[in-house]
A and B are shown apart, each in its own frame.
Chain A
Amino acid sequence: DAKTTQPTSMDCAEGRAANLPCNHSTISGNEYVYWYRQIHSQGPQYIIHGLKNNETNEMASLIITEDRKSSTLILPHATLRDTAVYYCIVRVDRGGNTDKLIFGTGTRLQVFP
């Protein structure tokens, strides 16, 4: 199963872009990169996912390198409410009952005023 590596913590000033990196050097061709976040003592919240192309939605942008060995989640204008733990997950897709999300320890993003 592909493993991800993320920095333990990051800081970002309110209103600035937050760029959260993730390394997944052993990713396979059929594995997606997912991002979730978890605000303190709440359930994780889905943010975005991608396979090869860059993706954007109302919450964030996902930039995946051409070799797919790393990606960056971008929150374009961070707010205090974006303070959370951000998880980068490679979804092990076996097309059946054994596929699952494996959460690591994530990056704790602190947005400061």
Chain B
Amino acid sequence: ETGVTQTPRHLVMGMTNKKSLKCEQHLGHNAMYWYKQSAKKPLELMFVYNFKEQTENNSVPSRFSPECPNSSHLFLHLHTLQPEDSALYLCASSQDRAGPVDTQYFGPGTRLTVL
């Protein structure tokens, strides 16, 4: 399998549930990202990891908890979400954020619906 994969592709959860989104990249990249795309809104950067270390948290509520156990895997743990958190959650990876040219490659996304 190549590129950036995300599972599950669709997820429906209640506000009291705990679930996790998984992202895996097969590109040998060192940086990974979580984005949120709500209906009819631009993509919003949520978190950035570089060499497994979190380098950016874009004021994301604590009900979203990222985890990056290694450079190939990224998780987004969800708990006590709100209906307004329903969105497309996208994962991306890039070679190395320290470089001047850093192309990001995106996964297909997880469509999350919070009831």
The residue that A97 contacts in the complex, of B56, B92, B100, B103, with Cβ under 8 A, is B56
- Who on chain B is nearest to A97 by CB? B55
In the assembled complex, the Cα of A49 lies from the Cα of B99 at a distance in Å of 14
Range for the number of chain B residues in contact with chain A: 20 to 34
**Any A CB within 8 A of the CB of B42:** yes
- Who on chain A is nearest to B50 by CB? A97
Contact status of A43 and B4, CB under 8 A, knowing A32-B101, A97-B55: yes
Q: How far is the CB of B2 from chain A (nearest CB, A)?
A: 14
Question: B48 touching A95 by the CB < 8 A rule?
Answer: no
**Any A CB within 8 A of the CB of B45:** yes
**Any B CB within 8 A of the CB of A65:** no
**Any B CB within 8 A of the CB of A25:** no
Interface of chain B residues 62 through 109 with chain A (CB within 8 A)? 88, 90-92, 97-98, 100-109
Interface Cβ pair total, 8 Å cutoff: 53
Could you mark each residue 91-111 of chain A with 1 if its beta carbon is under 8 Å from any beta carbon of chain B, else 0?
A: 101011111111111100000
In the assembled complex, the Cα of A52 lies from the Cα of B111 at a distance in Å of 38
The residue that A93 contacts in the complex, of B55, B100, B106, with Cβ under 8 A, is B100
Question: B106 touching A43 by the CB < 8 A rule?
Answer: yes
**Any A CB within 8 A of the CB of B15:** no
Which residues on A are within 8 Å of B, measured CB to CB? 30, 32, 34, 41-46, 49, 91, 93, 95-106
Name 11 A/B residue pairs within 8 A (Cβ), A-sorted: A41-B111, A42-B108, A43-B90, A43-B92, A43-B107, A43-B108, A46-B105, A96-B98, A100-B56, A103-B43, A106-B42
Which residues on B are within 8 Å of A, measured CB to CB? 4, 42-43, 45, 48, 50, 55-56, 88, 90-92, 97-98, 100-109, 111
